[in-house]
């Protein structure tokens, strides 16, 4: 037997927290009977659970790693008809991105239909490292690098300590390639950090997410995560 909110989240309908809201609002029924009690236990195999009158599919959880191309929106649909990340995933299940990358940022993005898993990875208290390669204007001085490493004050708070390494400088073009590793997920964080220290980002790519890399993939290609990778990510999030 499983808690009702967990069963709803695992079916990819919504996150566990939002599922709790749906239950208390009286929008969930089990075997045709409305249930508003949080913590109600159900048998996912035998009980018929419906949200807003629609039965939840007993979907198999799926997990994908996508090399997101530049210019693609981290969403499942776009009202302006632009390309979205789910256009690149071939799955029977409805998947959605875990977190987001700006449309002008390329690189590693995870997608799933497992609401619990997505919440776990996105929870601010769990610190999964993400490495980005940024092409920036100008040539950051050592003191600037130290400033980024210590954390900079942005309008939504100070950033946590980061690892920063200047990989390459091009004097003629007055640009640099910088590797930065962070474990937070503030909106457009890397871009705002570099902007703050006077080196606006020209190009940005997420290279790694925890132990996962883009190895073997070209932009627009994806692969399913292996069961041991999913397990490892869960463990990584919690430790």
Give the active site residues: 102
Scored b (16 or more CB within 10 A) or e, 94-123 reads: ebbbbebbebebbbbbbbbbbbbbbbbbee
Rounded Cα distance, 180 and 208, in Å: 11
Which of helix, strand or coil describes residue 64?
Answer: strand
Contacts within 8 Å (CB) and 24+ apart, 14-19: 14/115, 15/115, 15/116, 15/118, 15/119, 16/115, 16/116, 16/119, 17/119, 19/115
């Amino acid at each position: 037997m499983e808690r009702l909110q967990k069963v709803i989240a695992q079916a990819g309908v919504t996150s566990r927290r939002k599922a709790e809201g749906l239950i208390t609002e009286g929008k969930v029924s089990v075997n045709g009977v409305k249930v508003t009690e949080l913590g109600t236990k159900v048998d996912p195999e035998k009980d018929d659970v419906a949200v807003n009158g629609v039965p939840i599919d007993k979907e198999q959880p799926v997990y994908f790693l996508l090399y997101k191309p530049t210019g693609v929106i981290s969403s499942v649909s776009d009202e302006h008809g632009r390309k979205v990340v789910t256009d690149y995933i071939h799955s029977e299940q409805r998947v959605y991105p875990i977190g987001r990358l700006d449309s002008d940022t390329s690189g590693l993005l995870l997608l799933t239909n497992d609401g619990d898993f997505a919440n776990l990875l996105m929870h601010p208290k769990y610190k999964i490292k993400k490495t980005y390669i940024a092409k920036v204007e100008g040539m950051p001085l050592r003191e600037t690098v130290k400033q980024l490493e210590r954390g900079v004050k942005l309008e939504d708070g100070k950033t946590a300590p980061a690892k920063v390494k200047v990989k390459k400088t091009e004097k003629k073009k007055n640009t640099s390639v910088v590797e930065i590793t962070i474990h937070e997920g503030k909106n457009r964080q890397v871009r705002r950090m570099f902007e703050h220290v006077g080196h606006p980002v020209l190009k940005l790519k997420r290279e790694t997410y925890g132990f996962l890399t883009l190895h073997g993939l070209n932009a627009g290609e994806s692969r399913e995560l292996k069961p041991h990778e999913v397990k490892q990510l869960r463990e990584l999030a919690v430790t």
